[in-house]
Amino acid sequence: MRLGNRFYTLMVCLLLVSVFLAACGNSNNNATPNSSQSNETSPASSQTGQKDPKKSVELIFWHHYSTASPEEKTLKEVLIPKFEASHPGVKVNAVSFPWDQLHQKLQIGATAGELPDIARLDIIWVPELQANGMLVALDEKFPDFGDVSQGLLSGPLSTAVVGEHTYALPLNTNTKVMFWNETMFQAAGLSAAPATTEEFFAALPKLKESNPKGWGFGEPALRGWNILPWLWSNGGDVLSPDNTTAEGYLNGEASVTIVKQLQDAFAKGLLTGFKPGETPVTEGHAKGTYAMMAEGPWAFAQFKEQFADFRPKAASFPAGKGGSVQVLGGEDIGVLSKEHPQESWEFVKFMVSEEAQVEMGKVGQIPVNLKAMDHPDIQAVGYFGPFLEQLKTSKARPPVAAWPQIDDVLNDTFMRIFLQNADVQGTLDDAAKQVNALLQK
């Protein structure tokens, strides 16, 4: 038995040695690790800097470039492909909404928790969205914010500042000028666009007389964007300089006087364009329906695209007691993403880069990138001249969080004044009370 035990013990030892050697043989570089090992990062791989392949990221970009417009075409066919090519693994899904619908989508999305990663924002929306906690503070989140922002126009950049932080970057800037149809003016015995509001109202009946089926002026809507230039140029306003009250401003003498003049011109059939079913203003201007209109640089792109034979003429907005004052327009681009903030920031930076700004400038978007403004392709856009001149006296709409709601009040107010011939003073008195109530919320 002792011999048998020794033999048995020897065999066991030999077996253990062979197992150990086999295990050592399997530890070479050709070995296939087991499942638990494959899910861990070894110290060696960490030291060599190896990383897991980057997962594909889809960024949702909400905007209000008009569908099938030159701007949207450039965005989808030129800019997004260039961005995706330089950022492998990142895809951009651009979704277009009409201006008012985009604002509603953002409001609803804030409640429902369904927001895009990035959005093109009207500059008047920024204070409201910031107050709702929807926008990322770019200067606080991204270390290279300063480097990016210093290459942009300071005026448009200021539209995204709320309190001590910047919540978006300017994407484009604009204002409006007075377009005038030279053929219609010549038929009325007029040779130039009106330089003053007095000349404007004097020209309207002459234009109507020479073209009974048309109108002297076309205005597509009655919101702040449309009405403020008339109030400002006449020395009026919607809010006080400190943006605390509408009393004495929206219903003040200067505002009431110019609104009465506009109401009277509408009643006489001298201006229109905002009633449902009427000919779109830009189309009507090219076709001889509206002798004048106040529009932005995008109108030139539309004329080139749809009315190639029409030769538009542009001049400064008619000056009143307050000067020639138009509304400062433009859009900002902001990051809303909590899941992909860095990738979203990369897209924002690309959209305000010289390359992207030049491409958008070619189709009528005034650049905010300083290098892009000096680019030969932008300098060659001759029609930017009147807008750059008008921008010198343009004003931004009040930077208050309640502005979208105030804008609704203005729209309802002026629709009653024009379409229902409501008493101007009484209606503006009521509107001032509604605006003050919104400011106090």
Starting from the edge strand earliest in sequence, which strands make up the sheet with 329-335, in order? 90-96, 57-63, 118-122, 329-335, 169-174
277 and 404: one domain? Answer: yes
Count up the domains in the chain and report the number: 2
Burial code (b: 16+ CB inside 10 Å, e: under 16) for 253-265 equals ebbbbbbebbbeb
Is residue 22 a part of any domain in this protein? no
Indicate if 376 and 387 belong to the same structural domain. Answer: yes
Which CATH number does the domain housing residue 410 bear?
3.40.190.10
**Is 3 contained in some domain?**
no
| pLDDT at res. 399 | 87
* DSSP one-letter string for 96-116: E--HHHHHHHHHHHHHHT---
Same domain, 255 and 189: yes
Query: Both 297 and 420 in a single domain?
Result: yes
Specify whether 108 is located in the same domain as 213.
Answer: no
In this structure, are 133 and 149 located in the same domain? yes
| 315 and 348 inside one domain | no
Per-residue pLDDT in tens (0 to 9) along the chain, 441 residues? 444 444 344 343 433 344 333 343 433 333 333 333 333 333 333 333 333 345 799 999 999 998 888 899 999 999 999 999 999 999 999 999 999 999 999 999 988 889 999 999 999 999 999 999 999 999 999 999 999 999 999 889 999 999 899 999 999 999 999 999 999 999 999 999 999 999 999 999 999 999 999 999 999 999 999 999 999 999 999 999 999 999 999 999 999 999 999 999 999 999 999 999 999 999 999 999 999 999 999 899 889 889 999 999 999 999 999 999 999 999 999 999 999 999 999 999 999 999 999 999 998 899 999 999 989 999 898 899 899 899 889 998 998 999 999 999 999 999 999 999 999 999 999 999 999 999 998
The answer on 245 and 148 residing in a single domain is no
Q: 380 φ, ψ to 5°?
A: -80, -10
Same domain, yes or no: 191 and 311: yes
Residues 412 and 389 in one domain: no
Among candidate residues 293, 199, 236, 281, the one with its CA nearest the CA of residue 424:
236
**Contact yes or no for 372/357 (Cβ under 8 A):** yes
**What is d(CA 312, CA 305) in angstroms, rounded to the nearest whole number?**
13
Residues 353 and 362: their CA atoms lie apart, in Å, by 14
Same domain, 119 and 197: no
Contact 91, 58 (CB under 8 A): yes
Q: Are 204 and 270 in contact (CB under 8 A)?
A: yes
DSSP-assigned states of every residue in 332-371: EEEE--SSSHHHHHHHHHHHTSHHHHHHHHTTTPBP-BHH
Question: Count of alpha carbons within 13 Å of 261, Cβ hemisphere only?
Answer: 17
Q: Which of 316, 105, 68, 329 has the alpha carbon at shortest distance from 223?
A: 329
Whether residue 13 lies inside any domain: the answer is no
Residue 74 lies in a domain: yes
Residues 348, 379: one domain? yes
The range of the structural domain enclosing residue 355 comes to 57-175+330-396
Say if 45 falls within a structural domain.
Answer: no
User: Helices in 246-297 by DSSP H: which ranges?
Assistant: 253-267, 281-287
Q: Is there a contact between 148 and 352 (Cβ–Cβ < 8 Å)? A: yes
In a domain, 313, yes or no: yes
216 inside domain: yes
Q: Is residue 39 part of a domain?
A: no
